[in-house]
Amino acid sequence: MIGYAFMGRAHSQAWRVAPRFFDLPRQPVMQVLVGRSQDRAQEAARQLGWAEVATDWRAVLEREDIDLVDVCTPGDTHEEIAVAALEAGKHVLVEKPMANTLAEAERMAAAAERAAASGVRAMVGFTYRRVPAVALAQKMVAEGRIGQVRQVRCQYLQDWLADEQTPLSWRTDKEKAGSGALGDIGAHVVDLTHFITGQRVAAVSGMLQTVVPERPRAESFAGLSGVAGSERGPVTVDDVALFTARLESGAPAVFEATRMAWGRKNAMRIEVNGSRGSLAFDFEEMNVLQHYDADAPAGEQGFTRILVTEPEHPYVAAWWPPGHGLGYEHGFVHQAADLVRALAAGEQPTPSFADGLAVQRVLDAVERSHEDEGRRHAIPEHEGTSLEGAAR
């Protein structure tokens, strides 16, 4: 695994736990943790359960005892590491968003396609697909439980940058992060829409805004609001991303991603309205899925609260008795288990790099639409396709 901060900690916990709760055909061995600092990596490895450390990821790729490379670094390094790992014959897991730019994502997807011919697989870490309530929603849509998808609305609301005294970090630097709220959290709700509906976004019209254009530099931040003379630097990414869209069927969708919504810690929400009902999910109540059945008798209609903790629900049988909810970390465990099973079976794990590229194309189209004063931009694979009236 390369990188050991927020995502590295989550992935490490998943690799430790997955084989203890799921019957896996292969046993993950947490062999090497790679970081820039030998001392800091050593301490992280001790804490997170890795056998050894290294500071040169290129040297690690030459080792025959490494089968899988888990990339948990900022987005500006994803392409170089992932492509090199695939060319070295290593399976790859890369955190989302897959890349910082569309061109990088295209090169990564091409490398994954070449590697697949030799049985080498690549996967993107859109972990929210593995939340049991989300997986249940996807299953219900696929089974036709809400009929034809007519409309989708998505939000991802956070507040960790709402305070203008919060200092700069790599996530506020376009060169390292690629974008702000759009790529960091907007990518998640785009992928959820693709996953749950089974349709991809075909066209968008969007706007981006940087609400706080300057922030304290981390080294000069005193932790106090309004400190006189604190050195400040520019924020080069968006704080808010808003865009409307059409799916492949022509169904309309609306998306909002912001890190400026006071009081919203991790409110990732999606509602899908169909011809026979609706589904609604909010990650801040992650063990619940709301279902409205329009075919129910008029006197019995209303949203039904499904507590997704039964052994019949996706992934849940491996865990606790009904009613004992799961948490954020469990999605990463499910991701690790699914990845190991797919690799052992010689199958393509999902979401693939092609799926990650599909999300990146949407992000790129939103940026282009913003630069074009909100004009509608088709996703490249849907360029020239008329969607008018397609959802009727």
What was the pLDDT predicted at 199? 98
31 has a pLDDT exceeding 50: yes
Confirm if 340 and 356 have CB atoms less than 8 A apart: no
Residue 384: band (very low, low, confident or very high) from pLDDT cuts 50, 70, 90 = low
| List of domains in the chain | 6-128 (3.40.50.720), 130-320+353-371 (3.30.360.10)
What was the pLDDT predicted at 385? 59
Cis peptide upstream of residue 351 (ω within 30 degrees of 0):
yes
52 has a pLDDT exceeding 50: yes
Give tens-digit pLDDT for 66-78.
999 999 999 999 9
Average the pLDDT over 289-295 and give the result.
98
Average the pLDDT over 20-35 and give the result.
98
Around Cβ 323, how many Cβ atoms within 10 Å? Answer: 9
Confirm if 165 and 221 have CB atoms less than 8 A apart: yes
Torsion of CA 152, 263, 333, 61, to 10 degrees: 90
For residue 119, report the phi and psi dihedrals to the nearest 5 degrees. 85, 10
Over the range 178-208, which residues count as b (16 or more CB within 10 Å of their CB) and which as e? bbbbbbbbbbbbbbbbbbbbebbbbbbbbeb
What was the pLDDT predicted at 137? 98
What was the pLDDT predicted at 387? 55
Average the pLDDT over 303-315 and give the result.
98
What was the pLDDT predicted at 386? 56
What was the pLDDT predicted at 221? 42
Cα separation, 104 vs 265, in Å, equals 30
352 has a pLDDT exceeding 70: yes
To the question of pTM greater than 0.85 for the whole model, the response is yes
Confirm if 194 and 358 have CB atoms less than 8 A apart: yes
**How does the average pLDDT of the chain come out, rounded?**
95
For residue 233, report the phi and psi dihedrals to the nearest 5 degrees. -135, 165
If you compute the radius of gyration of the chain from its CA atoms, what whole number of angstroms results?
A: 21
Give tens-digit pLDDT for 206-248.
999 999 999 999 864 444 444 434 699 999 999 999 999 999 9
Average the pLDDT over 157-168 and give the result.
97
380 has a pLDDT exceeding 90: no
Spatial CA neighbour of 255 closest among 268, 264, 242, 267? 242
Average the pLDDT over 243-268 and give the result.
98
